[in-house]
Amino acid sequence: MTETEIPKGSYAAGRQVKLPAGAEAPYAVYINGVEQRDGEDYRVAAGEIVFTRQIVKEKVGTGRWLAMYLGLFGTYRKNETIDLQFQRAGKTELISDLPVEPD
C-alpha cells in the first residue's frame, strides 16, 4: 500500500465513501475516471467503500471560490473524484463525485 502525495493546496479527505441506499453489486469504482480494483485498491464493508489510501481533495477558501466563480482563474490543484456504478432494483446506475467521509 502506497500513500498518495498531498500537494500544497490540497488535503487528505479520508478513505471511505458510503454506498447509496439500495446499491447492490457488481460495483465499478473510479477515481478520476480510472477504474479501481476490488481487493487491491478498495474493499466493500459495512455499507461503505474503503480505499487503501487517502483520497485527496482541493482546499477551496472563500477568496479562491469567488475568483473561480467570477472566472478570474480556474483550479489546478489535485482534487480526486469518486464515481460509482452499481445495480439498484435491477437497473444499472452511476453516481459521480461521491462525498468522502473523514477517517
Mean pLDDT of the chain: 86
Of residues 68 and 91, more confidence is placed in 91
Say which amino acid occupies 86.
F
Q: Provide the pLDDT for residue 63.
A: 57
CB 83 within 8 A of CB 34: no
Q: What is the pLDDT of residues 32-61, one digit of tens each?
A: 999 999 999 999 999 999 999 999 987 765
CB 29 within 8 A of CB 35: yes
DSSP-derived secondary structure letter, 11: E
Of residues 103 and 17, more confidence is placed in 17
Q: Provide the pLDDT for residue 58.
A: 77
* C-alpha 24, offset from chain centre: 19
User: Is the per-residue pLDDT at 3 higher than 80?
Assistant: no
- How far is 44 from 49, CA to CA, in rounded Å? 5
Q: Provide the pLDDT for residue 73.
A: 57
Confidence band for 6, pLDDT divided at 50, 70 and 90: confident
Q: Provide the pLDDT for residue 1.
A: 37
User: Is the per-residue pLDDT at 66 higher than 80?
Assistant: no
